[in-house]
């Protein structure tokens, strides 16, 4: 086995090894050769090669999302590093451990006219948990070890992005037969933070209030123990609202928030207004619930998370800094279920909406709405479902998705720039077959996601191609102006067919209601190759069908 002769490369490789960081995504370059040699030559690492750094970072994010442990990306100096930024921001807001390792030139070579050189130190300052700036030279070895330990431990402990910047002077490709340094591994502190506070005042309030709402944001599957779910579901004074990305399923929870609240009047909203709002999980998709809870404020908002609490509704009163399981283990046994009509009243409305939903579905013309409805009916069981922003994730909230599906979407920053790459990385890392559903702009934006050798055979993409950004037809704003087509919807006539061919995907397309059912059924049985199904829909019908839906289900 060979090692790079660079001490900094050896230090980093050994510390990653010690800390169990073993998935390394490398983008090509020369300045990073000591790292490529260091990780690539070592049999303990699973190295991947992806050219486009933006895709590489989202691919890594997808793996980290599935494995729930840090994944590293490595690139050369210059703008290469900046292409990691969208994924760094997503990792920052979605609490995904992403270790960015960038090769750099030594400091005295920056801003003097050397090529492929930018100011790399602290470049992600606003969206990073830690930036370790290393320096070449034996005299910096202890400091570098400390910095790298802190960065890697931060990713492990706090689950978020960190940046390690490593300068290398030339020559870059020299190797040695034996490892020259044995850095000291400072182990991370990983463990559940126990609550160090008196819960009694909160429990008293909880037990006195007749209307409690629990709102759950993005959560990885199996995050909350079933016994807690069941206990919450039994209490008639507790209304639990979830989203597809919450990955929580129990009878008496309401998962289609917009379906429930979009048609409500002011009077209804007052009835829905909770006294206490308890939240956990990451970002919430529904804009409508955010608007509602900002106008009809609960008296108290409490959030449970071991790391952070956002004041999303401007009434955050308390942050329980612990894991949701340890919170509920302490909290729930002391709560008393109350007999009120709060939950049942809304469950009755939900059932009414569901009946209206079914009637509506049977009457509508061919449209995005119909397409999503059919896709969710035909999805196989036990899959990983990756969804892109923006209309896709919103439509997904309106339909029943089989509870065996594990659902993910990049909601940290809601970008359309890395959904496909994330899905590919997640598909690689998951044991489940992956179905990725996306809009056309989102798909074409990140089409380099398919430019790698790691796409599983059972990976399926469904592109709902409505010829542009369909979401803009649904959002408020004038649709008939000369600006709309060009600058909002960004109309196009592109098809994914040629791209599918180029990347070795099986390709099928649908243009009408008649094709829909039969093609969907067959599509999920393709197994020899990854496959892409492109479903063309009429852009000018889609918005009307969706907007009318919210009136119809009243």
Instruction: Summarize as ranges the residues that interact with ligand TPP (CB under 6 A).
Output: 389-392, 414-417, 439-442, 466, 469-471
CA nearest neighbour of 459 among 407, 385, 377: 385
Nearer to ligand TPP, 26 or 461 (CB): 461
In the complex, minimum distance from the CB of residue 489 to ligand TPP, in angstroms, rounded to a whole number: 8
In the complex, minimum distance from the CB of residue 59 to ligand TPP, in angstroms, rounded to a whole number: 17
Nearer to ligand TPP, 364 or 441 (CB): 441
Pairing state of beta strands 3-4 and 175-176? antiparallel
Nearer to ligand TPP, 72 or 387 (CB): 387
In the complex, minimum distance from the CB of residue 418 to ligand TPP, in angstroms, rounded to a whole number: 8
Report which residue's Cβ sits closest to ligand TPP: 439
In the complex, minimum distance from the CB of residue 515 to ligand TPP, in angstroms, rounded to a whole number: 20
For 277, the 3-state DSSP assignment is strand
Cis ω for the linkage preceding 383 (within 30 of 0): no
Nearer to ligand TPP, 356 or 497 (CB): 497
| Rounded CA separation 304/279 (Å) | 6
For residue 126, give every residue at least 6 positions away whose Cβ sits within 8 Å of its Cβ, in sequence order, or none: none
| Rounded CA separation 543/484 (Å) | 14
Nearer to ligand TPP, 422 or 466 (CB): 466
Query: Helical H runs in 3-136?
Result: 7-18, 33-40, 53-67, 79-82, 85-94
DSSP codes joined into one string, 37-75: HHHHT-TT-EEEE-S-HHHHHHHHHHHHHHHTS-EEEEE
In three-state form (DSSP H/G/I as H, E/B as E, the rest C), the secondary structure along 380-427 is CCCCEEEECCCHHHHHHCCCCCCCCCEEEECCCCCCCCCHHHHHHHHH
Cβ-contact 368, 463 below 8 angstroms: no
| Rounded CA separation 76/79 (Å) | 9
Nearer to ligand TPP, 84 or 346 (CB): 84
Nearer to ligand TPP, 306 or 421 (CB): 421
CB atoms within 10 A of CB 218: 24
In the complex, minimum distance from the CB of residue 481 to ligand TPP, in angstroms, rounded to a whole number: 17
In the complex, minimum distance from the CB of residue 83 to ligand TPP, in angstroms, rounded to a whole number: 13
The owner of tokens 């659902």 is 407
In the complex, minimum distance from the CB of residue 444 to ligand TPP, in angstroms, rounded to a whole number: 8
In the complex, minimum distance from the CB of residue 247 to ligand TPP, in angstroms, rounded to a whole number: 22
What is the token pair recorded at 383?
Answer: 């899959």
Nearer to ligand TPP, 217 or 468 (CB): 468
Nearer to ligand TPP, 298 or 470 (CB): 470
The owner of tokens 């959904």 is 419
In the complex, minimum distance from the CB of residue 177 to ligand TPP, in angstroms, rounded to a whole number: 46
């Amino acid at each position: 086995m060979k090692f790079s002769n660079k001490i900094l490369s050896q230090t980093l490789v050994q510390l990653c090894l010690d800390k169990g960081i073993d998935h390394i995504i490398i983008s090509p370059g020369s300045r990073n050769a000591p790292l490529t040699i260091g990780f690539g030559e070592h049999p303990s690492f699973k190295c991947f090669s992806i050219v486009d750094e933006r895709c590489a970072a989202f691919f890594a994010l997808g793996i980290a999302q599935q494995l729930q442990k840090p994944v590293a990306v490595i690139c050369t100096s210059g703008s290469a590093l900046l292409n990691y930024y969208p994924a760094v921001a997503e990792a920052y807001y979605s609490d995904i451990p992403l270790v960015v390792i960038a090769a750099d030139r030594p400091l005295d070579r920056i801003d003097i006219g050397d090529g492929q050189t930018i100011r790399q130190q602290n470049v992600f300052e606003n969206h990073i948990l830690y930036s370790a700036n290393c320096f070449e030279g034996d005299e910096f070895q202890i400091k570098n070890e400390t910095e790298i330990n802190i960065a890697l431990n931060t990713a492990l402990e706090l689950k978020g992005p960190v940046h390690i910047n490593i300068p290398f002077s030339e020559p870059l490709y020299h190797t040695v037969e034996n490892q020259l340094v044995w850095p000291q591994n400072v182990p991370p502190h990983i463990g559940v933070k126990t609550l160090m506070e008196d819960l009694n005042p909160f429990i008293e309030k909880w037990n006195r209030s007749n209307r409690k709402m629990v709102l759950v944001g993005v959560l990885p599957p199996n995050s909350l123990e079933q016994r807690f779910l069941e206990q919450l579901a039994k209490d008639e004074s507790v209304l639990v609202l979830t989203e597809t990305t919450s990955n929580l399923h129990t009878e008496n929870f309401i998962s289609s928030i917009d379906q429930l609240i979009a048609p409500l009047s002011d009077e209804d909203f007052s009835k829905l207004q909770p006294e206490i709002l308890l939240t956990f999980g990451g970002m919430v998709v529904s804009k409508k619930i955010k608007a509602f809870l900002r106008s009809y404020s609960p008296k108290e908002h409490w959030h449970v998370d071991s790391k952070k609490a956002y004041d999303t509704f401007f009434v955050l009163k308390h942050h329980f800094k612990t894991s949701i399981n340890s919170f509920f283990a302490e909290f729930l046994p002391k709560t008393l279920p109350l007999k009120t009509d709060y939950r049942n009243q809304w469950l009755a409305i939900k059932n009414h909406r569901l009946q209206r939903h079914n009637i509506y579905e049977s009457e509508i013309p061919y449209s995005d709405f119909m397409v999503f409805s059919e896709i969710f009916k035909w999805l196989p069981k036990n899959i990983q479902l990756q969804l892109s922003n923006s209309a896709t994730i919103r439509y997904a909230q309106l339909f029943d998705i089989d509870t065996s599906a594990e659902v993910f979407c990049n909601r940290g920053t809601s970008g359309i720039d890395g959904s496909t790459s994330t899905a590919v990385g997640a598909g690689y890392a998951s044991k489940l077959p992956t179905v990725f559903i996306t809009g056309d702009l989102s798909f074409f934006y990140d089409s380099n996601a398919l430019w790698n050798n790691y796409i599983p055979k059972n990976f399926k993409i469904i592109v709902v191609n409505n010829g542009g950004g369909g979401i803009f037809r649904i959002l408020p704003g004038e649709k008939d102006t000369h600006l709309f087509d060009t600058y909002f919807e960004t109309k196009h006539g592109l098809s994914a067919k040629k791209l599918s061919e180029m990347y070795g995907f099986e390709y099928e397309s649908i243009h009408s209601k008649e094709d829909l059912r039969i093609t969907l059924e067959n599509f999920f049985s393709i197994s020899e190759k990854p496959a892409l199904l492109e479903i063309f829909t009429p852009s000018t019908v889609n918005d009307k069908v969706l907007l009318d839906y919210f009136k119809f289900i009243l």
